[in-house]
Amino acid sequence: MMVCNVLSIPLARSSAGSFAQMARSAVQATRGVQVPKVALDEPPLTIHTLGDAVLRTPAKRISKVDESVRDLARDMLRSMYSAHGIGLAAPQVGVHKQLLVIDLDPENAATPPMVLINPEIGSFGAAIETYEEGCLSIPGVYLNVVRPAAVEVTYRDEMGRPQRVKADGLLARCIQHEMDHLNGVLFVDRVTDELSLNEGLQEKGFQRADVHSIR
């Protein structure tokens, strides 16, 4: 289930000299946070990896959705596309804000990414699924994780508007995976197969001691 946001153009108060600001606001709203879906030689943000303390620090709610937040989302998208990922959370780039970007269709320039600000899961589906996950913060490690198959999530979009989405399949898993980052949790913390976990980490040079297992 893929969800695309429809952007609206905000209205400015009519006053002398306000036309230019209204035009700028209209362009920003129409553009949203879409950036070219290409890999950059020098992405704007560094993605931290397992063992870095920043990944274990809980993120704070965003009090105001403004252009600085949209700029951060754009830089996160550029960095995510450069790393060939489909999801990225602000703590992964050392920013402790409740902001996620997701794009399950990175090869299609016409598909807009999702931007989730201050996301909250309102409910989980009854079914659970086991599926292999990977993470840009633990490159090269892919392990099975059990998660609910469906979720209902509320959040603010890139223009600060409240949104609600019911997601299943890959989108539901990706949302849960990225939201874990907002609480300092990594997917390897949820892996129950200790043998596979230890082997996967060792093969890529990561330390088992940096995993905070959830049981």
Catalytic residue numbers read 178
What is the enclosing helix (H) or strand (E) of 21?
Answer: helix 19-31
Q: How far, in Å, CA of 27 to CA of 9, rounded? A: 8
Placement of tokens 């300092």 in the chain: 184
Cα dihedral sign for 81, 78, 42, 55?
negative
Q: How far, in Å, CA of 35 to CA of 50, rounded? A: 27
Structure tokens at 120: 């909250």
Q: How far, in Å, CA of 163 to CA of 196, rounded? A: 38
Q: Do 193 and 148 contact (CB within 8 A), yes or no?
A: no
Closest CA to 73 of 106, 105, 44, 107: 44
DSSP string, 100-168: EEE-S-TT-TTSPPEEEEEEEEEEE-S-EEEEEE--TTSTT--EEEEEESEEEEEEE-TTS-EEEEEEE
